[in-house]
Amino acid sequence: MPYDSIKVIAFDADDTLWVNEPLFRDAEKRFCELMQDYLPSEACQERLFAVEMKNLPLYGYGIKPFVLSLIEAAITLSEGTVPLSVIQQLMDIGKEMLQAPVAVLEGIEPTLKALAPHYELVMATKGDLLDQERKLEKSGLASYFHHIEIVSDKTEAQYHKLVTQLDIRPEEFLMVGNSVKSDILPVLAIGAFAFHIPFHTTWAHEEVKEPVEHPNFQLLSNATQLKTILSQE
Amino acid sequence: MPYDSIKVIAFDADDTLWVNEPLFRDAEKRFCELMQDYLPSEACQERLFAVEMKNLPLYGYGIKPFVLSLIEAAITLSEGTVPLSVIQQLMDIGKEMLQAPVAVLEGIEPTLKALAPHYELVMATKGDLLDQERKLEKSGLASYFHHIEIVSDKTEAQYHKLVTQLDIRPEEFLMVGNSVKSDILPVLAIGAFAFHIPFHTTWAHEEVKEPVEHPNFQLLSNATQLKTILSQE
């Protein structure tokens, strides 16, 4: 069996275990509505994305960096004329996002349940630790995971470190996630397995256009297929 | 020897390895100067602290939560009348903090160098992962550490998890840090060792008044003493 060597399965969290990206897309939409006196929606989205990309190396990933970028963009795009009440609303949007209910994706729970007795399951995410712990708790999935791995970015070097820390060889590691850029390509590069489960919404920063072809790769349409592929039905 | 069982030494980062709290105290001072038209400095500091404490469960620890609390406090304390330029200045203070040079505390480097061949050294912090990785890199201390452990809060349960993850028994674990509340008490409670190196400035949230008395505890005046106590001079 091609996957017999796998001992640890790491799951990405946002948009792999539960819905996340739509929360950001919705917040961006609300932001651009608040900015409609200053610029049209499409230009607003582009300029906000540019602010986020500029801040990414300094702020990192997650809701708090996003809110700080919203505030910065509001001041810049309005040329310093936006009312303070808008800043307050952006802060409120951030708090709402941090407290949003967690919608677990279809098929995830039964799949984790089937895999947990046979593999060490970990959650590997580049989000914010406190926020991801809170979501894992709310999701009701915590008991299936051995532990959470938070990385500041999902690069080859970080996956190397993760595998070393788990004390396994790359061919004993499988990553499952929705981002080709973060969850698939760097994992294949270190000689591990990577299965892609696309989510309907992908952040522009995470988009990779070319299809992946690699013996250690599989494209799945949902989490339930994992059980079949790994013969754990 | 009482400390012969120790295999892993975990160091807190902020104000144990390098200067941190003064950056926050300085930012608070600048914040209250910006707020001086609305309320006197002492009241400002108290009300800011109250906003930070209210937000702590939702935002967690670190510079980004702090900046969000500064912005919220500016809006609230000015009753929605603070100029937008002040919000911009608070954002700038945050970016300055994130990019501040790292001042390694005296005695740390030679101590880590002496201990590294004999123990597994880890950095255990509740700060923000990206920010702590950046500081570790800037500090020049990265090569002494086996890995970084980020916890969302330093509780008994989190130390239990850490020890389990490190695959050691509590009596094989020593924590070194400047906060009695975060680095000492919960560590002693799980049966591990904890050495306190006080720093001259402590955040009100971390203050514990009673002196600690425990067979697994030591109060040190600086990091260099670690070498003597652990007989690694």
Closest CA to A64 of A125, A129, A133: A129
Confidence band of A212 (pLDDT split at 50, 70, 90): confident
A84 in contact with B, Cβ within 8 Å: yes
- Average pLDDT in chain A: 93
φ, ψ at B126 (rounded to 5°): -105, 15
Q: Which two tokens stand for residue A164?
A: 């070393």
In the predicted structure, residue B72 carries a pLDDT above the cut 70:
yes
- The answer to whether the CB of A223 falls within 8 A of the CB of A107 is yes
Q: Is there a domain that residue B152 lies in? A: yes
What CATH number should be reported for the domain holding residue B207?
A: 3.40.50.1000
For the cut 90, the answer to whether the pLDDT of residue B201 exceeds it is no
Give the integer Cα–Cα distance in Å for B38 and B33: 10
Give pLDDT, residue B98: 95
Rounded to an integer, the average pLDDT of A68-84 is: 97
User: Does any domain span residue B79?
Assistant: yes
DSSP chain B: -TTTT--EEEE--BTTTB--HHHHHHHHHHHHHHTTTTS-HHHHHHHHHHHHHHHHHHH-SSHHHHHHHHHHHHHHHTTT-S-HHHHHHHHHHHHHHHTPPP-BPTTHHHHHHHHTTTSEEEEEESS-HHHHHHHHHHHT-GGG-SEEEE-SS--HHHHHHHHHHHT--GGGEEEEES-IIIIIHHHHHTT-EEEE---S---GGG---SPP--TTEEE-SSTTHHHHHTT--
- Give the confidence band of B233 by pLDDT, cuts at 50, 70, 90: low
- pLDDT for the residue A178: 94
**Residue pLDDT, tens place only, B106-116:** 999 999 999 99
Res B53: pLDDT: 97
Say what the pLDDT of residue B191 is. Answer: 97
- Place B231 in a pLDDT band, splitting at 50, 70 and 90: confident
Of the residues A72, A99, A126, which one is the last residue of a structural domain?
A99
Examine the pLDDT at B198 and tell me if it is beyond 80. Answer: yes
Q: Is the pLDDT of residue A219 over 90?
A: yes
Residues of chain A positioned with their CB less than 8 A from the CB of B98? 58-59
- A56 interfaces chain B, CB cutoff of 8 Å: no
Average pLDDT, integer, range B5-23: 96
Whether A117 and chain B come into contact, CB under 8 Å, resolves to: no
Residues B58 and B110 in one domain: no
pLDDT band at A16 (very low <50, low <70, confident <90, very high): very high
Q: Per mean pLDDT, which range of A72-81, A199-208, B90-99 is the poorest?
A: A199-208
- Do A107 and A70 fall within a single domain? no
Label each residue of chain A as H, E or C.
CCCCCCCEEEECCECCCECCHHHHHHHHHHHHHHCCCCCCHHHHHHHHHHHHHHHHHHHCCCHHHHHHHHHHHHHHHCCCCCCHHHHHHHHHHHHHHHHCCCCECCCHHHHHHHHCCCCEEEEEECCCHHHHHHHHHHHCCHHHCCEEEECCCCCHHHHHHHHHHCCCCHHHEEEEECCHHHHHHHHHHCCCEEEECCCCCCCHHHCCCCCCCCCCEEECCCCHHHHHHCCCC
pLDDT band per the 50, 70, 90 thresholds, residue A90: very high
> How would residue B211 be classed by pLDDT, with cut points 50, 70 and 90?
confident
As a whole number, mean pLDDT of residues B207-224 equals 87
In a domain, B223, yes or no: yes
Residue A233 C-beta-side C-alpha neighbours within 13 Å: 5
Same domain, B219 and B134: yes
Of the partner residues A64, A84, A130, the one whose CB lies closest to the CB of residue B84: A84
Residues B62 and B148 grouped into a single domain: no
Structure-token pair, residue A61: 């990933």
Percent of chain B with pLDDT over 70: 98
ipTM over 0.90: no
Are residues A109 and A207 located together in one domain of the fold?
A: yes
pLDDT score for A136: 95
- Considering CB atoms only, which of A60, A81, A88 is closest to B130? A60
pLDDT of residue A127: 77
Indicate if the pLDDT at residue A33 is higher than 80: yes
Higher pLDDT, A233 or A40: A40
Q: Which residue has the tokens 């200067």?
A: B19
Its domain, for residue A34, covers: 21-99
Neighbours of B211 (CB within 10 A): 9
* Mean pLDDT over the full length of chain B: 93
- Predicted local confidence at residue A129, as pLDDT: 86
Size of interface A-B (CB pairs under 8 A): 78
Residues B109 and B222 in one domain: yes
Distance from CA of B137 to the nearest CA of A (A): 13
Q: What sign results for the dihedral spanned by CA atoms A72, A78, A80, A86?
A: negative
Q: What pLDDT sits at residue B229?
A: 93
Range in A84-88, A110-114, B78-82, B153-157 the model is least confident about = B153-157
Same domain? For A122 and A34 the reply is no
